[in-house]
Structure 1
Amino acid sequence: MAENRNRQAATLATVRRFEAAGFRAWPAATVHYDGTWAVRLTAGLPAKRLNSVNPLDPTDVGRIDERVVRAGRRFEAYGRPLTFRMSPLAGAELSAHFDAEGWSRFDDSLVMRMDLAKAPVEGAIDQIPLKDIGRFIGASMKVHESEPSLRPGLSEIIGAIQPEVGLFVLERGEEPLATLICVHEGDIAGLFEIATARAVRNQGHGRNLILSALKWARLRGARQAWLQVEAGNAPALALYGSLGFEVVYHYHYRRPPEA
């Protein structure tokens, strides 16, 4: 019994570390706390991880209905649907409450990590990240096929990242093939917004860019890399698995029936 409790505590400590790193690496415009629920909202971008309630303690389950109403008012003010991001820190009791209330569950995702000492980066290109945020955003939006209206919000988020940021673009001439953001903080490096242009997928461009970013992070002292990916994204999971990434934990999103 004691061994199981120790293992669970170690697991939750690992989750807390990656959740905190994720908040710093991809910061919401505003964050409010209701107990240990982190209410993250961003007017300029609709991404769920930037617009969600993130419970951070499985034992913090008092006055759930009252607190959900308060969170709902904040989301309504931003024009966002009330959304909870349920990592292992949310706990089983809150999940059971949402089940009983008929909340939907969607977008199951994985957090994965790898030991950078084992990363196959020996042959990777020594790529210098871009310093020009505007140029990177233009390339990233083209690769992601994003709406132009999202540009100011993306610029705001990238500009607000406090840890060291590597903006990586793989180009052919002036045409962007793949883009990603690598956020280096101490001994870990997170990969975000990984994408390859639709017309050139399955040609190794994403893999090559990831390896360049991992090499850059390792040279800066990072000892492990991590990323988030939707559980249904089979091509991405196959790529990350082939590079040496392994699943650390799962999370998903919940919304009330009226959302």
Structure 2
Amino acid sequence: MPNLAIVRRLEAVGFRAWPAASIQYDGSWQLRLTAGHPSKRLNSVNPLDPSDHGDIEARVERAARRFDAYDRPLVFRQSPLAPAPLESYLDAHGWHRFDETIVMIGIIDQLDIDGGMDHLPVRDIGRYVDASITVHGRDQSLKAGLTEVLSSIRPPNGLFVIEDEANGPLATALCVHDNDLAGLFELATRMDSRRSGHGNEVVRAALRWARHRGADTAWLQVESVNEAAVSLYRGLGFGEVYRYAYRQKPGS
């Protein structure tokens, strides 16, 4: 059983690091909606108290109406903070589970992050957004939404790009420094440049930057099916803290 105090803290810093445009509450269920970006973390219901499970059916219906207003499918993000009766309700109604994600943590001084080239964060959000879209292979229509999300991040953050003159951007990462914690987001290596050490290089550079700023603990989220990334992070010294997954009703 995960330590719920640690889960609550990482969930809170994760929300600050990847801010939704609209945040509403139904009890302790946090409804996050963002018209400009389709990320599930920005468009999901996040239950935050295992004991808050009253009137589930009516609350799910209310959430559905709010998501309809944003033209977003209703998605629940189920972490260890989600109440068991809600999980049972979703199971009984056939909601499928997808995109299981591992949350990992590491003490920076114990991680293997020294060595390799130093990279300073880029200052131009537009340059980073263009690089990120290229590396992830995303559609250019996401540019405005991603720019808005990055511009809304309040804790200090570093935007990292690994690139060369011949091939352009090869890997990107966002590192958000929140008190003693450094969160890594948007980690990616371009498809045709994988297994060349660029992912390792960008992670190390970002965490050295965070260490220099005073962070002592690093954390990240990675989909469990991404075996190469999970192996990379374990090799650096990260360990699993908890998992979450998304739930969506049939036919959505």
- TM norm. shorter chain > 0.5: yes
In 2, the alpha carbon distance for the partners of 1:144 and 1:127 equals 20
Residues 4-30 of structure 1 deviation map (CA, whole Å, 9 limit, x = unaligned): xxxx6x811100000000000000111
Task: Indicate the residue corresponding to 2:6 in structure 1.
Answer: 14
TM-score (norm 2): 0.97
Task: Indicate the residue corresponding to 2:153 in structure 1.
Answer: 161
Task: Indicate the residue corresponding to 2:126 in structure 1.
Answer: 134
Task: Indicate the residue corresponding to 1:227 in structure 2.
Answer: 220
In 1, the alpha carbon distance for the partners of 2:164 and 2:118 equals 16
SS in 1 for 2:45: strand
Letter in 2 for 1:220: R
SS in 2 for 1:88: coil
Residues 151-206 of structure 1 deviation map (CA, whole Å, 9 limit, x = unaligned): 00000000000000100001111600100100001100000000111111000011
In 1, the alpha carbon distance for the partners of 2:170 and 2:50 equals 42
Aligned pairs (5 A) from 1:115-194 = 115-173=107-165, 175-194=168-187
Task: Indicate the residue corresponding to 1:107 in structure 2.
Answer: 99
SS in 2 for 1:76: helix
In 1, the alpha carbon distance for the partners of 2:83 and 2:211 equals 34
Residues 55-105 of structure 1 deviation map (CA, whole Å, 9 limit, x = unaligned): 000000011111111100111111111000000000222111111122111
In 1, the alpha carbon distance for the partners of 2:134 and 2:249 equals 34
Shifted more, 122-131 versus 185-194: the winner is 122-131
Equivalent of residue 58 in structure 1, options 50, 53, 58: 50
SS in 1 for 2:126: helix
Equivalent of residue 194 in structure 2, options 180, 188, 201: 201
**Which 4+ residue blocks in structure 1 deviate beyond 4 angstroms?**
none
How many positions carry a matched residue from both structures?
Answer: 251
Shifted more, 77-86 versus 168-177: the winner is 168-177
Structure 2's unaligned 5+ residue stretches are none
Shift of 1:257: 2.3
Residues 113-172 of structure 1 deviation map (CA, whole Å, 9 limit, x = unaligned): 111011222214332101100011111111111111100000000000000010000111
Task: Indicate the residue corresponding to 1:3 in structure 2.
Answer: none
SS in 2 for 1:107: strand
In 1, the alpha carbon distance for the partners of 2:49 and 2:8 equals 9
In 2, the alpha carbon distance for the partners of 1:116 and 1:22 equals 18
Shift of 1:107: 1.0
CA RMSD of aligned residues (A): 1.1
In 2, the alpha carbon distance for the partners of 1:231 and 1:257 equals 22
Shifted more, 113-122 versus 159-168: the winner is 113-122
In 2, the alpha carbon distance for the partners of 1:78 and 1:233 equals 30
Aligned pairs (5 A) from 1:237-252 = 237-252=230-245
Task: Indicate the residue corresponding to 2:19 in structure 1.
Answer: 27
SS in 1 for 2:81: helix
Do the aligned partners of 2:113 and 2:236 also contact (CA within 8 Å) in 1? Answer: no
SS in 2 for 1:79: coil
- Over the matched positions of the two proteins, sequence identity in percent amounts to 55
In 2, the alpha carbon distance for the partners of 1:120 and 1:208 equals 11
Task: Indicate the residue corresponding to 1:72 in structure 2.
Answer: 64
Do the aligned partners of 2:102 and 2:221 also contact (CA within 8 Å) in 1? Answer: yes
SS in 2 for 1:238: helix
Shift of 1:255: 1.1
Do the aligned partners of 1:186 and 1:222 also contact (CA within 8 Å) in 2? Answer: yes
In 2, the alpha carbon distance for the partners of 1:30 and 1:157 equals 12
Structure 1's unaligned 5+ residue stretches are 1-7
Shift of 1:258: 4.2
SS in 2 for 1:44: coil
